[in-house]
Every structure is written in C-alpha cells, then in structure tokens.
Amino acid sequence: MAVRLNHQTQPTFPETFRRVFALPNAEEMLVRRMLSEDIEAVTELEFLCFKDAWTEKHFRHELQNSRISVPMVAEIRGEIVGYIVPWFIEDEIHIANIAVSPLYRRHRIGEHLLDTILEEGEKQGSRFVYLEVRVSNVAAIQLYKKCGFVTAGIRAKYYQDGEDALLMEKYLG
Ligand SMILES: CC(C)(COP(=O)(O)OP(=O)(O)OC[C@H]1O[C@@H](n2cnc3c(N)ncnc32)[C@H](O)[C@@H]1OP(=O)(O)O)[C@@H](O)C(=O)NCCC(=O)NCCS
C-alpha cells in the first residue's frame, strides 16, 4: 500500500538559526547551522571520535544534497567543538550523527545539541525521535537516557565490525 507523505510537518531551520548557551564553566557556546566552510574542521573531529568515521564527502552530501538533513555545529570562541546531524522525515527525527571534541566533553555540549534539535523539532511538529547507538557506548547511552530516550530494541550486528546497536526512541509532546 502506498504511504502518503505529508511534507507540511517537516521543520524548517533558517540559515540564520542561532542559539546561545552558557556552559557550566561559564563559557558561551553557539549552536548554528553547519556551513560548507565548517566541513574540514567537522571531519577532523569526526575522525577523532569514531573508528567508522564519515568522510568529507558524507558531510558535503548532508549539506548540499539531502532534503531531510539539517546539520548543526557547536562553536566556542569560533572553534567548532561538536556537531549533530538530524534527519527530519515527516513527523520523525532520526539522529544520524552527534559528536563532541574529546577536549570539551562533559560540559553539556552534547546535551545542548540534542535538546536544540528536540525542542525545535517539537515546536515545529516532530513527534517521534529515534537513533542507533553501539551497545558498548556508555557515554552516549547515558546522554540519550538523560534526554528522555528509552531502549526500543537491539539491531543485531548493525555496525561493520559486527557490534550490535541499541535502538533508542523518544516521544515528543
Ligand atoms: C556521547 C557524547 C556526544 C557526549 O557529549 P558530551 O558533550 O561530553 O556530553 P554532555 O556533557 O552533554 O553529557 C550529558 C550527559 O550525558 C551523560 N554522559 C556524557 N558522557 C558520559 C560518560 N563519559 N560517562 C557516563 N555518562 C556520560 C551524563 O548523563 C551527562 O550528564 P551529567 O554530566 O549531568 O552526568 C561524547 O562523548 C562523544 O562525542 N562521544 C564520541 C562520539 C559518539 O559516541 N557519539 C554518539 C554516537 S551514537
């Protein structure tokens, strides 16, 4: 049976989207849309954070060729310290990628990036959020639990190296 798509519910984030947060160490952090000039710095961070890292080409695709992707970066004093890649599909959000620089962890940057997407998505009609995370990734699983995600299931051998993924989900609103 054909599924009828309703693009009305897809949130829109203007290029000028900006949100400023005060971090626990009193630094100010800006969350804004990712730009093509950020890709080099973002890819460097990606390689520091993941063994199965996305390449520059992946990020370029997200920025230029994807209708559903709205990548954001976190910036402190002009330096990119984290990023999130959410996909907005109808009234669902899929968190495709999130990472914070190893030098800036445990400063609520991951939490603020995620909350920005959840709050803005909810305001604009998103109802359901899901993501996959390695079963061994304690830090990320704790972050998602803190942000209200629950485990919905396991995807066996989801990753290239054979590790399972937890499927986590959250209802909004
Ligand atoms: C997961 C990640 C994004 C968290 O970013 P972060 O900015 O350090 O996280 P925050 O400071 O916002 O932490 C928010 C909450 O997450 C949990 N958390 C974060 N890091 C944790 C850790 N190392 N151990 C346990 N809990 C952790 C805590 O509940 C924390 O709240 P608290 O500080 O009040 O206890 C970061 O560790 C990272 O980039 N990891 C590598 C990339 C990755 O695995 N991405 C997820 C792919 S699914």
Q: What is the pLDDT along the chain (173 residues), one digit of tens a residue?
A: 444 445 455 678 888 999 999 998 889 999 999 999 999 999 999 999 999 999 999 999 999 988 899 999 999 999 999 999 999 999 999 999 999 999 999 999 999 999 999 999 999 899 999 999 999 999 999 999 999 999 999 999 999 999 999 999 999 97
CATH number of the domain enclosing 60? 3.40.630.30
Asked if residue 50 belongs to a domain, the reply is: yes
Number of structural domains (the chain) is: 1
pTM beyond 0.85: the answer is yes
| Ligand 1 site, residue 140, Cβ cutoff 6 A | yes
**1 Cα–ligand 1 center, Å:** 41
Domain that includes residue 118, residue range: 7-131
Pocket mutation for ligand 1, best pick of 46, 133, 142, 169 (most atoms within 8 Å of C-beta): 142
Asked if residue 142 belongs to a domain, the reply is: no
**157 Cα–ligand 1 center, Å:** 23
Contacts of 28 (CB under 8 A, 6+ apart): 20, 21, 22, 76
Asked if residue 163 belongs to a domain, the reply is: no
Q: Edge-to-edge, what's the strand order for the sheet holding 79-89?
A: 18-22, 28-33, 72-76, 79-89, 92-100, 128-134, 165-171, 150-155
Name the helix (H) or strand (E) containing 88: strand 79-89
- Among all chains, which residue has been given the structure tokens 């080409």? 57
